[in-house]
Each structure stands twice: as C-alpha cells, then as structure tokens.
Structure 1
Amino acid sequence: MTTPSTESSTTKKTQDSAGTEKNAAREAALNAAAQRPPYDASALEDTSTRDLVPAMPTHLSAPGVNLGAYINTVHQIPILTPTQEQELAHRYYDEGDVEAARLLVMSHLRFVIHIARSYSGYGLPQADLIQEGNLGLMKAVKRFDPNKGVRLVSFAVHWIKAEIHEFVIRNWRIVKVATTKAHRKLFFNLRSLKKTNNQLTLEEADAIAKDLNVTRKQVLEMESRLTSYDASFETQSSDDDDGRYAPQLFLEDGIDPAEMIEESDWEESNSSALIAAMDTLDDRSRDIVEQRWLTEQKSTLHELAAVYSISAERVRQIEKNAMDKIRDAMTIESVILPDDIQ
C-alpha cells in the first residue's frame, strides 16, 4: 500500500528530475556548439544570411496545423540567459562562429512570432511574415555588437519590423500602394486611425492628415486604394499576352532595412507629440506600449512577459512607467492618453 509520504517523495523526485533534464537540455545546446572545429575565416564570408535562418516548414497548406506545430516547437526552445547570450554573441562577433549565430537566432524565434502577429491584418500568410521576420533577426545578429551593453532582442526589433514592412509593401495585393514615405506612413497607420469602417468624412481626413503630417488628398487617395478591388500578384506560367498581367513586375526594387529604419514612422514624424514622446523611451518600453495600446491585436501582460522573460507584474510596471513618461513629455493639447493603467 502506497502511503501519502511515499507519493509525496515520488512526486518530488519526478519534479527534480524534470528540472534537471530541462537544465541539461539548455547546457547541451551550448556544449554541442562548443565542440566545433577550428574556425575558418573564409566560412563566414561564404555564408549568406538566408543560410543562417532556420527554415519554416515547407508544407503549410493546412494553416493552423503545421504552423501551429512550428510555433509550439519554437516556444519549447530554451531562452538564453544574459551570460549565455553574451558568450554566443562574442563568439560570432569576435570569431565569426556561425554555429553561435544559429543558436542566437533559435533562442529569439519566439520574439519574431510575437512581432509577426501585429501584421496579420494585411491578408498575407502568417508563415511568410514569420519567415521574413526570421531573416530580419538574422541580419540583426550579423550586425549585433555585444560590447554596446544592450540585449539582442532590443537591437533586433527594428530589423525584424523593417524586413516585415518591406515584405508587406512588396507583396500586398494593391499595386504600388506604398512607394513613398507618405504612402508608407498612411499604409501602416490609416486603418488604426479610422474610428469606423465607414468612408472618411472630410473632417476625419483632415484630422488624420494632421496627425501623420500629410495632405488630405493623400489620406483620401490611400483610403480609396485600401478599399478598392485588389489586383492579382500571381505571376503567369505561360507567355500568352492575353493572360493577366503580373503587377509585381512593376514594383520598385526592395528597400534596404537600414533605409527603412531611417525612414520609419517613429523617426520621420517628429512633429507629432505622441511620436516624439515615444522616442524618449527605451526599446523595450516602447515595444510594450506599442503592443499594449497601438496594435490591432493587443498583447496581454502574460504574452509580453513570455517574450521578455520577465513576470507579468514587471511588464505592468514598465508599461506604467512608460506611460507616465509619455504624459510628462506631452502637452495637454496634443493627445489624450489611456488613463486606466493601475
């Protein structure tokens, strides 16, 4: 007969064993990378960015099945400690160790998924958004300087968003919808600024134009494009001139991520009081405010806690402190901010 004390002892041993296995798995990943052959300087030069990006499943014909399995797998990858991250970052930065770069990418894939969710409203496959974000992550890893004293996740967020931005602009179903700074600004902000799904009134168009520092005409033109019939982006398999044209053939060349960052909404709209206030925040605080208040699919405290490997209470504190700083940096006439953060 099993006594309560025996059951308690067995449960404790099982929990201890599970904890030991989890720690062993994390250490095994680093130890495996440590058992690498002598570094060959030519290897880094011959390695393209895409070769370092973990591949998405190729059989995603059934959304919610394979993609879900990918997301579940990513969330099982151990998060690196600051010490482990620094060690791997220095190995890649100082020695060009490609395996260290792969481990850095793997441990940050969950963050890409988190960002890609914000772009789900554009009708593009989530798997494609994630894969483009993965490419941006790898570009960030290749440029990350561990001597700057910041975490990789804070540095990588701009590169991930820039790569997804370019992908959305290049592949969304409207031909050349966002080819200028003003068009890109409207493309990514107009829907969230509209109070209803109805057609904009002139007063609403004027208000949005003022917020985004564009003209009323540009606002109304973008609204018309966003609500008009979408042209196909499908390339034709035949050379028949009577077939449908492929609008993507007339798109401008892709924009370098560095240029996208330089021209991003946050940096080019200094006349906006809100954006100016947001610019005073550190990367993590700014991202938390954006994900909690400025996206269509708002993240919960627990979701952000998982992304940053901190408690939900700590996320709430960061959010509150950031909102307090924004209020202090803005005049009462600028914008009314949410006042229900406790």
Structure 2
Amino acid sequence: MNIQSGTVTTTLAPANPWALVPPLGNLDAYISAVNRLPLLTHEEEQTYARALKDNNDLDAAGRLVMSHLRLVVSISRQYLGYGLPHGDLIQEGNVGLMKAVKRFDPDQGVRLVSYAMHWIKAEIHEYILKNWRMVKVATTKAQRKLFFNLRSMKQGFKADAAAADAATHRDTLSDREIDAVAEQLNVKREEVIEMETRLSGGDVLLDPAPSDDGEQAFGPIAYLADAAHEPTAMIESRQRDYLATDGIADALASLDERSRRIVEERWLKVNDDGTGGMTLHELAAVYGVSAERIRQIEVAAMKKMKKALAEYA
C-alpha cells in the first residue's frame, strides 16, 4: 500500500492461477468456468514460457495451463462417440496439456495452442485404447490410425449414400468401401474387416446380475471356468492321490501282520466274480477264533489306520 499526495493506492499481488477454477460440483460448471478464463496474448505467452523454461516458475506454468483448458474441452468433444465419460476424456487431455507446457520451447516460433494439440490428442488416444475395450483393439501405429479414422470414414460413406438416395445402404462396409479405406490408410483390407468387426461388437458381461425374479442369469462365466484346474481342487485331488497310495501303504505298515491281513482280506481284495474278500467267518476259521474276535481286531485296526492317515495328511 502506497500513500502519495494524500491518496491511497493499493498494489495487488497476482492471483494464484490454480485458484481461477475452484472445485466445482459438476462437469457443466467446470466447462462454463474454463470458458470464462482469459486467453493469453502472444507476448504474455512468451513471457510465461520463458519464465518457466529459465526459472522453473510454477505460477507461469499454471497460467499457461489455465489459459488452454478450453482447448482440452473442445478437443475432448471429438471423442464422445466412444462411450467414455466426457469428464475422464477432459482429465486425460489436461494431463497431455501439462506435458505440453512442460516441454514447450518459446524459441521454436510456434504458439502453444498448436504444440499442445498433439499432446492432448495423444493422451486421449492412449486413454481410449486402454479403456474402450478390455481387450486391446490396436497395438501398432497403423492399427491406431485405422481405429481412430474408421468410424468417421464410415459416417462419410453413409452421408454419400444418403445424398444419392441409397436408402438400403448397409451398416457394414461394402467391398468397394473396404478397398477405399485400406488404400487411404495404407493398411490391408483384412485389417479393415477385422477392425470393423471388433468396433461393431459390444462388450459381454461375464457374470450377469440376477434377473427381476431372483433367478441367476446365464453368462459366459458359467462355461469359462475350468474346475479341473482350479488350485484348491488340484491340491485336494493331489492329496487324495497321495492318501490312496503312499498313505494307505504307510497306514497298513503300522499294523501287525494279523491285523494287516484281516484289513486287506476284508477291504482291499476283490474276487474274480467282483465280490469282496473273505468274510468274518472265513477269517475266523483261518485263525481259529470267533467271528466276533475278528470283527474286534478289524475295528481296532481301522482306528489305528485312520489315526496314521490323519497324521500323514
């Protein structure tokens, strides 16, 4: 504050550029706010760009970014046809704008708006390719070019057909149109056909939500799962195999000779006619004891084997 000749003059510090767009409740309010931000003159842009380059002035970077936010909004509108949220497109475009501001060289003789358009579009393109489908649709430079031009070219073909009163024009490309796209974009016609098929196909919900009547809707998840190779099932199967071989052998080895033979004859042997092994009475005759005594020996042996198998498991 200065006092000169009885008058009071106040010198205000520059406003914080990052506070020019306060937190807003919805996208429309944000777009309205950025459209009201003042544009920089060429001289102002050069001044701020040099301050950023020479002195790493973050306030200067902020003013360069804020004055071009409306450019991001304008460019992002061109990509609304991919079904992604407009706010997300703007956010990714803003990332590209900040990258452009960081790399901008005022000595190149171009305006920031021309330089930033490339970075904004590149960031939005990358976001669309990563999020438009779970499975990537474009991995090479030629495929990316095809991806982002095929939709607009199809619209052009439809417009030409409408002008020629071709009411029966198909949604899919004709052979002539496929050849025209392939020639113009310098790709194979097979790539045009594949890309059109993938772009026209919708996403499939693997696990549909239950219907209104409470019944579970059938979805691909029902037949995509491979229960035979599910980790828990594989571990349980391996454990059963071990118990049926090494486990049983170790459990039998813990028994005395008579108990082991009784268990083997009763449970592990099968006659040629498919029937089981020896009966209690047949074993009783072999050992000269009662059938009840054979049953008692069998019960005790089975308990001992269960204990051994539990320890083995």
Which of residues 180, 190, 194 is equivalent to 1:217?
190
Give the aligned partner of residue 198 of structure 1.
171
Which of residues 31, 56, 64 is equivalent to 2:14?
31
Shift of 1:229: 2.3
Q: Deviations over 1:273-330 (max 9, x none)?
A: xxxxxxxxxxxxxxxxxxxxxxxxxxxxxxxxxxxxxxxxxxxxxxxxxxxxxxxxxx
Q: Deviations over 1:113-153 (max 9, x none)?
A: 11111111110011110111100000000001112221111
- The one-letter code matched in structure 1 to 2:38 is P
Shift of 1:110: 0.4
Kindly tell me: are residues 211 and 111 of structure 1, through their superposed partners in 2, closer, same or farther at Cα, counting changes over 3 Å? same
**Partner SS, residue 31 of structure 1:** coil
Q: Deviations over 1:190-214 (max 9, x none)?
A: 1111213611122221111111111
Give the aligned partner of residue 158 of structure 1.
118
Which of residues 135, 142, 158 is equivalent to 1:182?
142
Kindly tell me: are residues 144 and 86 of structure 1, through their superposed partners in 2, closer, same or farther at Cα, counting changes over 3 Å? same
Distance across 2 between alignment mates of 1:76 and 1:244: 55
Give the aligned partner of residue 51 of structure 2.
91
Give the aligned partner of residue 125 of structure 1.
85
Give the aligned partner of residue 147 of structure 1.
107
Kindly tell me: are residues 141 and 54 of structure 1, through their superposed partners in 2, closer, same or farther at Cα, counting changes over 3 Å? farther
For residues 298-313 of structure 1, the aligned pairs below 5 Å read none
2:75 aligned with 1:115: yes
Shift of 1:76: 1.0
Structure 1 residue runs without a partner (length 5+): 1-26, 35-51, 60-65, 235-241, 246-342
Give the aligned partner of residue 293 of structure 1.
none
Kindly tell me: are residues 202 and 55 of structure 1, through their superposed partners in 2, closer, same or farther at Cα, counting changes over 3 Å? farther
Kindly tell me: are residues 33 and 149 of structure 1, through their superposed partners in 2, closer, same or farther at Cα, counting changes over 3 Å? farther
Query: Does the CA contact (< 8 Å) of 1:175 and 1:231 recur in 2?
Result: no
Moved over 3 A (4+): 52-59, 231-234, 242-245
Kindly tell me: are residues 156 and 130 of structure 1, through their superposed partners in 2, closer, same or farther at Cα, counting changes over 3 Å? same
Distance across 1 between alignment mates of 2:222 and 2:55: 53
Distance across 2 between alignment mates of 1:70 and 1:233: 36
Query: Does the CA contact (< 8 Å) of 1:173 and 1:232 recur in 2?
Result: no
Kindly tell me: are residues 72 and 58 of structure 1, through their superposed partners in 2, closer, same or farther at Cα, counting changes over 3 Å? closer
Distance across 1 between alignment mates of 2:222 and 2:21: 34
Give the root-mean-square deviation of aligned CA atoms: 3.1
Distance across 1 between alignment mates of 2:75 and 2:15: 30
Distance across 1 between alignment mates of 2:54 and 2:129: 35
Shift of 1:219: 0.5
Distance across 2 between alignment mates of 1:130 and 1:33: 22
Q: Deviations over 1:173-202 (max 9, x none)?
A: 351111122221111011111213611122
* Structure exhibiting the larger radius of gyration computed from Cα positions: 2
Structure 2 residue runs without a partner (length 5+): 1-10, 159-169, 208-220, 225-313
Number of residue pairs matched by the alignment: 188
Q: Normalising by the residue count of structure 2, what TM-score does the alignment of the two structures yield?
A: 0.54
Distance across 2 between alignment mates of 1:207 and 1:105: 40
Kindly tell me: are residues 115 and 181 of structure 1, through their superposed partners in 2, closer, same or farther at Cα, counting changes over 3 Å? same
Query: Does the CA contact (< 8 Å) of 1:53 and 1:138 recur in 2?
Result: no
Higher relative contact order (CA 8 A, sep 6+): 1
Distance across 2 between alignment mates of 1:148 and 1:68: 36
Distance across 2 between alignment mates of 1:55 and 1:232: 39
Give the aligned partner of residue 137 of structure 1.
97
Shift of 1:55: 8.9
- The one-letter code matched in structure 2 to 1:154 is S
Q: Normalising by the residue count of structure 1, what TM-score does the alignment of the two structures yield?
A: 0.50
Which of residues 29, 35, 40 is equivalent to 1:75?
35
Distance across 2 between alignment mates of 1:161 and 1:105: 16
**Sequence identity (%):** 56
Distance across 2 between alignment mates of 1:232 and 1:56: 38
Distance across 2 between alignment mates of 1:75 and 1:219: 39
**Partner SS, residue 115 of structure 2:** helix
Q: Deviations over 1:50-90 (max 9, x none)?
A: xx99999686xxxxxx1111000001111111121111111
- The one-letter code matched in structure 1 to 2:188 is T
- The one-letter code matched in structure 1 to 2:178 is A
